[in-house]
Amino acid sequence: MAKDWKKRTKLVHAGSRRSQYGEVSEAIFLTQGFVYDSAEQAAGRFEQAGDDEFIYARYGNPTVRMFEERIAALEGAEDAFATASGMAAVNAALSSLLKAGDHVVSARALFGSCLYILEEVLTRFGVDVTFVDGTDLDQWRAAMRPDTKAVFLESMSNPTLEVIDLPSVAKIAHEVGATVVVDNVFTTPVFSRALELGADVVVYSATKHIDGQGRALGGVVLGTRDYVRKTLEPYIKHTGGAMSPFTAWVMLKGLETIDLRVHAQADSALALARALEGDNRLERVIFPGLPAHPQHEVAMAQLEKGGTVISLDLKGGQEAAFRFLNALRIVVISNNLGDAKSIVTHPTTTTHQRLTDEQREVLGISPGLVRISVGLEDIDDLTADIFQALDAI
């Protein structure tokens, strides 16, 4: 594969494998296993499988490998392992790395299921976890210990869109030898430079922008070849959680168009945020691409654009938020993001329902907060829909 290909060329061609039929579109190798020519060949492959040799789909599959190589090329990672969902990826990235007695420092503004893994699962196996305000570098510094093995953060948090200063956090973590694991969903693989900025391990829910059309669950973990093959792969291949070949094909096709889609979504998100900023029915418009955002400069230094999600804090709390959601005609009420369809979510009563009022308050998730994942619809239609729903409050 040409290493110096530009992003869009990699997204269309990197990792491609053609069968003897020379198909144009990547084949779906819908098989759990592989036939060996001889007993000797089987024995040899179990001893050491070559780059293009497969044993069992839980360990790897040609369609899945194409997806892993394509996203690794995009991200500039040495290697990648694809998983059945984003949560399988987060769990494997952390569980493969940690053991009882290890310490982890994590940003506190996390996707609910990530919080569950850190708070409930890892601690049950004797891992000590300290939570910090991810935007406060002094808190990161104070939390580090000689036994800190890993640092975990979402580069842009859900749903309040805090952006973490990744180079600074990575520097603080590396001083004690901790591995920096970044959940990069909101940044998207298009705007990510996480590895270049100091992350050691990058995790995606492929369910979001990589599929981008709401069809399949998937995830991927990226890192050095040493980490992926020696630490991560043994964990995933023996505990399950590998991506299915059909899902890998959906995700491969998603990668072909991701750059076009995400740029269009980010441009619409900025246009919407600008149109909404200052509207007197809103307490706040949260979008990292707006100069008023508290981490606007960090965001612009790390990402090319402000992302594809905006959050609005409506005056009038939950009642206003529900009226707004129910009045939308184009934007659908759901909880995915990164989709071609614009999606609105009320975090307090859905994705963050499990938290206490106090936890939500600390995270800035007020009852009037709504999250909008901006899709690919015409920007004029989207803007009109959102303003007519604001009128309906």
The residues that touch ligand PLP, with contacts defined as CB under 6 A, are: 85-87, 90, 111, 113-114, 154, 158, 183, 185, 205, 207-208, 217, 219
Q: How far is the CB of 63 from ligand PLP (least distance, A)?
A: 19
Which amino acid, one-letter code, is at 235?
Y
Sign of CA dihedral 169, 171, 172, 175: positive
Q: How far is the CB of 88 from ligand PLP (least distance, A)?
A: 7
Q: How far is the CB of 210 from ligand PLP (least distance, A)?
A: 10
Which amino acid, one-letter code, is at 138?
D
State how far Cα 87 lies from the chain centre: 10
User: Which SS3 state, helix, strand or coil, does residue 56 take?
Assistant: strand
- What's phi and psi for 373, nearest 5 deg? -90, 115
Nearer to ligand PLP, 113 or 383 (CB): 113
Q: Is 316 left (phi over 0), alpha (psi -120 to 50) or beta?
A: left
The residue with its CB nearest to ligand PLP is 86
8 Å CB contact between 371 and 159: yes
Q: Helix count (H) and strand count (E) of the chain?
A: 16, 12
Nearer to ligand PLP, 114 or 222 (CB): 114
Adjacent-strand bridge partners of 223 = 79
User: What is the DSSP annotation of 288-350?
Assistant: TTSTTSTTHHHHHHH-SS--SEEEEEETTHHHHHHHHHHH-SSSEE-S--S-SS-EEE-GGGT
Q: How far is the CB of 187 from ligand PLP (least distance, A)?
A: 10
| Nearest-angstrom CA–CA distance, 248 and 219 | 10
Nearer to ligand PLP, 320 or 375 (CB): 375
Closest CA to 71 of 198, 221, 193: 221
8 Å CB contact between 208 and 229: no
Residue 158: count other Cβ atoms within 10 Å of its Cβ.
25
Q: How far is the CB of 121 from ligand PLP (least distance, A)?
A: 14
Which amino acid, one-letter code, is at 84?
A
Q: How far is the CB of 90 from ligand PLP (least distance, A)?
A: 6
Nearer to ligand PLP, 374 or 390 (CB): 374
Nearer to ligand PLP, 208 or 284 (CB): 208
Q: How far is the CB of 205 from ligand PLP (least distance, A)?
A: 3
Q: How far is the CB of 254 from ligand PLP (least distance, A)?
A: 13
Nearer to ligand PLP, 207 or 366 (CB): 207
Nearer to ligand PLP, 90 or 276 (CB): 90
* Residues ≥6 apart with Cβ < 8 Å to 81: 68, 92, 220, 221, 228, 232, 233, 236
Nearer to ligand PLP, 350 or 383 (CB): 350
Total residue count of the chain as it appears in this document: 393
Q: How far is the CB of 281 from ligand PLP (least distance, A)?
A: 27
Q: How far is the CB of 176 from ligand PLP (least distance, A)?
A: 25
Nearer to ligand PLP, 207 or 265 (CB): 207
Nearer to ligand PLP, 92 or 390 (CB): 92
Please return the burial class of 271, using the count of CB atoms within 10 Å of its CB with bins 0-12, 13-18 and 19+. middle
